[in-house]
Structure 1
Amino acid sequence: MRLVGCEPAEPLLAVLRRPRKWDRDWVGLRALDRTGRVMYRHNVYLRVETARPSVLGGSLLDIKLTDGGKDRPSLLARPIWETWWRGVPATRNRWAPLTAEGRSEWLDLTATGMSEQGPDRSGGFYHLDGTYVTDVPGLHCAMAEALAGPGGYYGREWNAFKDCLHGGFGVAAPFTLIWCDADVARQALADDIWDTEKGLTYFEEIVLILESFGVTVVLR
């Protein structure tokens, strides 16, 4: 990777001054949508190979980086990033045609805006469209859309979902969740046993968590 026209600010200069044996460092990559909003953050480890005066002139530097390692965004993310590049999705179920891996990538993008969801609201009714909840990532995509709207964040997996229920993510209990077509998830996750001692599936565990936080769950 060649970066053209880097400003030689002190954090960069400190890296360039280090001995070669310590020259491997992490770089924060930010993917922006067409409005300039950060839609994804990713840290990757890179090595500075060369740093030369920039072709752009002035005090700027051109820097060559190599050795990013294996921790890179999946190629599955590309079409999803292209969708989000146009802006945060405004309609529901845009994630529905994706594979489970693609849905996980979708959830990663929702997490970028988790701090923008405003103060908590409690009470009221929320409708979850269970038509496409055929896997665990799909469950969390649908749950986030039900509680935080299209493109919203409400956890990417079990632990994060439970954290969201404690508050701070736009919706706090008590409230009523009406889960439409709940049998789709019940059947699709029938073999996904989450609590081995009690024999509970992931679907059943999510319902119990909601109820334990004071959420009224209506399965339809």
Structure 2
Amino acid sequence: MGTIDAGCVLTGDDEDEAWGHARRFSGLFTPLADGSRRVELAGCAPTGGLRAATGHIGGRRARAGNAHLVLLDAVGTPIGQYFVNDVTAEAVKPSIHGAHLVDLTVRLWCQDAYAGAAWPWHLRRTGQLDRPGLWHRLDRAGRHGWLSAALIHHGFRSVPDRPPDTVYRLDGRHITDVDGFHCALGEAVNGPGGYFGWNPDALEDCLLGHWGAQAPFALRWHAFAAARSHLVRLDDRSGRPPLEVIEEVFRDHRIDVIAC
């Protein structure tokens, strides 16, 4: 895909029908009371099924159907994708972004677009996700959103596994919950905003290879005692102390944890 002035591109469910692009979009990560999203596509050039739906706002044919919404960075490179359900045109008006463009409001559903993912996507799009630790200030919901964006973005990266027996440095100073552990681990293995699991099953999948690291390896865990004080509390997701689960997974895959 060449360089284009767009924030997202939409395609129909079968990925063969182009629905156009928009220069800016908002609302995807803000669920309404019923769980749906009202998304404004600013500077939009609708085509295909989306254009047809735009011509029938207020009627049954305003429903365009399911689609893929591809997020783009500032130069038009795809950085992530969401599957969105039941896209329905609700309002349209001329756009200030161009004579032949419109600002189109659609209602849709997207269960994977967590509210906390908006900020990390903004950082990626603007090239500001360039240093470690940006997730430190986030609350639990923000960290979960951070991890969801990291997982989706990983599919758009080409990151070969480092060889076995590599030593990774894990900064434990800001690990105050299990999501913080996964944020820190993803960063240790794959750099700022990196992903390396966000629950025990996902961590096991990553340890099988093709996610940036190849087991066995060593993890030099700095500020281990500080992190441990948080990870020994019972987790309401698993009913077990997160550290107990993490250490079990690491033992099974021959990960050597060096507490520092």
TM-score > 0.5 by shorter chain: yes
Match of 2:23 in 1: none
Q: How does 1:1-220 map to 2 (within 5 A)?
A: 1=40, 4-8=44-48, 20=60, 23=63, 25-45=65-85, 46-48=87-89, 66-69=106-109, 71=111, 73-87=113-127, 89-115=129-155, 116-121=157-162, 122-193=164-235, 200-220=240-260
Q: 1:212 to 1:88 in 2, by over 3 A?
A: farther
Please say if residues 200 and 249 of structure 2, whose CA atoms lie closer than 8 Å, have aligned partners that are also in contact. no
Amino acid aligned to 2:229: Q
Please say if residues 90 and 107 of structure 2, whose CA atoms lie closer than 8 Å, have aligned partners that are also in contact. no
Tell me, in whole angstroms, the C-alpha distance in 1 between the residues paired with 2:228 and 2:112.
Answer: 34
Amino acid aligned to 2:126: R
Match of 2:3 in 1: none
Larger C-alpha radius of gyration, 1 or 2?
1
Q: Which has the higher helix share?
A: 1
Tell me, in whole angstroms, the C-alpha distance in 1 between the residues paired with 2:66 and 2:150.
Answer: 23
TM-superposed CA distance for 1:162, in Å, is: 1.1
Amino acid aligned to 1:176: A
Shifted more, 200-209 versus 116-125: the winner is: 116-125
Please say if residues 127 and 178 of structure 1, whose CA atoms lie closer than 8 Å, have aligned partners that are also in contact. yes
Please say if residues 130 and 192 of structure 2, whose CA atoms lie closer than 8 Å, have aligned partners that are also in contact. yes
Amino acid aligned to 2:220: I
Percent same amino acid among aligned pairs?
A: 28
Please say if residues 28 and 42 of structure 1, whose CA atoms lie closer than 8 Å, have aligned partners that are also in contact. yes
Please say if residues 52 and 64 of structure 2, whose CA atoms lie closer than 8 Å, have aligned partners that are also in contact. no
Q: 1:195 to 1:81 in 2, by over 3 A?
A: closer
Tell me, in whole angstroms, the C-alpha distance in 2 between the residues paired with 1:5 and 1:195.
Answer: 46
TM-score scaled to structure 1, two decimals?
Answer: 0.77
Q: 1:72 to 1:174 in 2, by over 3 A?
A: closer
SS in 1 for 2:45: strand
Q: Which segments of 5 or more consecutive residues in structure 2 lack a partner in the other structure?
A: 1-39, 93-97
Tell me, in whole angstroms, the C-alpha distance in 2 between the residues paired with 1:123 and 1:7.
Answer: 51
Amino acid aligned to 1:144: G
Please say if residues 50 and 65 of structure 1, whose CA atoms lie closer than 8 Å, have aligned partners that are also in contact. yes
SS in 2 for 1:113: helix
User: RMSD across aligned C-alpha pairs, in angstroms?
Assistant: 3.5
Tell me, in whole angstroms, the C-alpha distance in 2 between the residues paired with 1:183 and 1:21.
Answer: 60
